[in-house]
Amino acid sequence: MKITDLRCTVLGQNPVVRITTDEGISGLGEVESSKSYLKPHILFYKQFIVGEDPTDVERVMLKIRRLGSFKPWGSAVSAIEMALWDIAGKAAGLPVYKLLGGKVRDRVRVYNGGVRFPMNGISPEDYAENMRKMKAAPEKFSIIKQGIAFHGGRIATVPEFFYGDAQRGGFHPNRGPLTERGLKHVIACVEAMKDVLGDEVGLALDCGPGWMVPDAIRLAKALEPLSVMWLEDMLTGDYVPYVSPDVYREVTRSTSTPIHTGEQIYLRQNFKDLIEQHAVNIIGPDPCDIGGIAELKWVAEYADLHGILMAPHGVGDGLLGLAALVQVSATLPHNYIAFEYPVGRPDWWYDIVEGLPDPIVQDSFIGVWDKPGMGVELNAEAARQYLPEGDEDFFD
CATH no. for residue 340?
3.20.20.120
Q: Is residue 393 part of a domain?
A: no
Average pLDDT, the chain: 97
Q: What is the pLDDT of residues 84-126, one digit of tens each?
A: 999 999 999 999 999 999 999 999 999 999 999 999 999 999 9
Q: Could you tell me where the DSSP H helices lie in 210-278?
A: 213-222, 245-252, 272-276
Expressed in angstroms, the distance from the first to the final Cα of the chain is 19
Whether 202 and 341 share a structural domain? yes
Q: What is the pLDDT of residues 279-334, one digit of tens each?
A: 999 999 999 999 999 999 999 999 999 999 999 999 999 999 999 999 999 999 99
Whether 134 and 228 share a structural domain? yes
DSSP letter at 307 equals T
User: Please, which residues have CB within 8 angstroms of residue 263's CB and are 6 or more apart in sequence?
Assistant: 71, 233, 237, 238, 284, 285, 286, 289, 313
Span 333-340, average pLDDT: 98
Entry field: residues in the chain: 396
CA dihedral 65→71→75→76, nearest 10 degrees, is -60
Whether 186 and 238 share a structural domain? yes
Say how many domains are in the chain.
2
Q: Is residue 15 part of a domain?
A: yes
User: Please, which residues have CB within 8 angstroms of residue 225's CB and are 6 or more apart in sequence?
Assistant: none
Whether 172 and 238 share a structural domain? yes
Q: What percent of the chain has pLDDT over 90?
A: 95
**Given pLDDT bands bounded at 50, 70 and 90, which one contains residue 373?**
very high
Cα distances (angstroms) measured from residue 106 to each of 169, 272, 328, 370:
41, 30, 12, 10
Write down the pTM of the prediction: 0.97
DSSP letter at 281 equals S
Whether 9 and 89 share a structural domain? yes
Whether 256 and 146 share a structural domain? yes
Whether 204 and 336 share a structural domain? yes
Q: CA 374, CA 370: separation in Å to the nearest integer? A: 9
Which residue in 201, 192, 184 sits closest to 128, CA to CA? 192
78-61-57 Cα angle (round to 5): 95
The answer on pLDDT for 4 being more than 90 is: yes
Which residue in 157, 115, 152, 129 sits closest to 314, CA to CA? 115
Q: Is residue 174 part of a domain?
A: yes
Whether 139 and 46 share a structural domain? no
pLDDT at 222: 98
- Contact assessment for residue 233 and residue 209, using Cβ atoms and an 8 Å cutoff: yes
Q: Is residue 392 part of a domain?
A: no
User: What CATH number is associated with residue 12?
Assistant: 3.30.390.10
Q: Is residue 212 part of a domain?
A: yes
Whether 239 and 310 share a structural domain? yes
**Given pLDDT bands bounded at 50, 70 and 90, which one contains residue 10?**
very high
Q: Is residue 158 part of a domain?
A: yes
Q: Is residue 395 part of a domain?
A: no
User: Please, which residues have CB within 8 angstroms of residue 128's CB and are 6 or more apart in sequence?
Assistant: 192, 193, 195, 196
Whether 64 and 193 share a structural domain? no
Whether 89 and 102 share a structural domain? no
Domain range holding 366? 98-373
Whether 86 and 142 share a structural domain? no
Q: Is residue 261 part of a domain?
A: yes
